[in-house]
Amino acid sequence: MKKGRHTFIPSEDIFILSTCAIAGPNEGRGRFGSYYDAVLEDPDWDCKTHEKTEIKMHKFAIEKAIEKSKKAREEVDCLIGGDLLNQLVASTFAAREFEIPCLGVYSACASFGEALAIASFLIGGQNMKNVLCCTGSHYGAVERQFRYPLELGTQPAPSSQYTVTAAGAALLSTEGEGQPRLTGCTIGKIVDYRICDANNMGAAMAPAAADTIVTHLQDTGRRENYYDYIFTGDLGKYGTETLYHLCKERGLDLSSCLNDCGALIYSEKQKDMQGGSGAGCLAAVFCSYIYKEMKEGNIKRVLLVPTGALLSKGSSLQGESIPGIAHAVSVEA
């Protein structure tokens, strides 16, 4: 059922039957290290390239999520994958091992939200019963594509964020009574505040997050305190502060519920600049910490708002600004 212009509420229950999260060594030393299904000891995981490592991480997350659901591969109607690499090589190369109908999505670091939304449409329209979503990122692979090879030793700017090495997979199903449920999604629109600094993507994405959160609450008729937590994905410390002030200007007080996965994923002792980002950031935090806390009854309602900066190396070199996107997905236990 559509509510407002951007929001869709499923008419039937859509359960999140199982999840899997795998993280790199730095992420494993962070706040959620004990929640991940696996933590790499070696950031390259015995692979010759960063890209091959990311493919291997996607494969692990997909395989483990299916295994934990107690479903056969043949029962999975569709695999929706996303990453930050050109032509989605991490998610698509991983998918070739599974012989499952496949869709690739790209909303930069908001790709997990897009995948969950599409999965809810496929299941809610009674076209499919089981849909698996998986997105991820790898620090070395993303740095090489969007910035500079690690071997160059380029120093990050104080406003920079550290691309998370992680992947998260979630299997959505019509079955799973008692499991957390996907109860709605809000499709974000492109918001561009004409920020051109590729080292300050939190500021570029915060306006899109504010727009999507406000739109979601207006469409559903809810107040911000309906949710125990609102988790944005990749804003980092500065971007989260910017989002808080943007929402306050529009009459929302998020002081008691706003959290950012990128700002939280590393511990205070780690030198992570403004925090983490990447297509694996919210995916890994949701598929580990948030999902497990919901299953244990410690969290009842969350709004996931992964955020994406829609830039490329070419667009930055041509002086283009950085458009932002954010999708919202509500999950209730």
- pLDDT (tens digit per residue) in 35-57: 999 999 998 999 999 999 999 99
**What mean pLDDT comes out for the span 278-294?**
98
- What are the CA-CA distances from residue 261 to residues 3, 67, 76, 201, 252 (Å)? 27, 26, 28, 15, 20
Alpha-carbon dihedral 174, 6, 230, 332, rounded to 10 degrees: -20
Domain spanning 181-332, CATH class:
alpha beta
pLDDT value at position 1?
84
pLDDT at residue 63 is higher than 70: yes
Stated pTM of the model: 0.94
Alpha-carbon gap, residue 77 to 84, rounded angstroms: 24
What is the location of CATH 3.40.47.40 in the chain?
A: 15-173, 181-332
Q: Strands 307-309 and 324-326, how do they pair?
A: antiparallel
pLDDT value at position 319?
86
Supply φ then ψ for residue 331, to 5 degrees. Answer: -130, 130
pLDDT value at position 150?
52
DSSP at 157: P
Sign of the Cα torsion 319, 214, 239, 161 reads: negative
Work out the end-to-end distance of the chain between its first and last CA atoms, rounded to an integer number of angstroms: 20
Domain spanning 15-173, CATH class:
alpha beta
What are 64's two structure tokens? 């483990």
How big is the CA angle at 29 (ends 26 and 32), to the nearest 5 degrees?
A: 110
What are 313's two structure tokens? 């190396």
pLDDT at residue 141 is higher than 90: no
Alpha-carbon gap, residue 233 to 279, rounded angstroms: 9
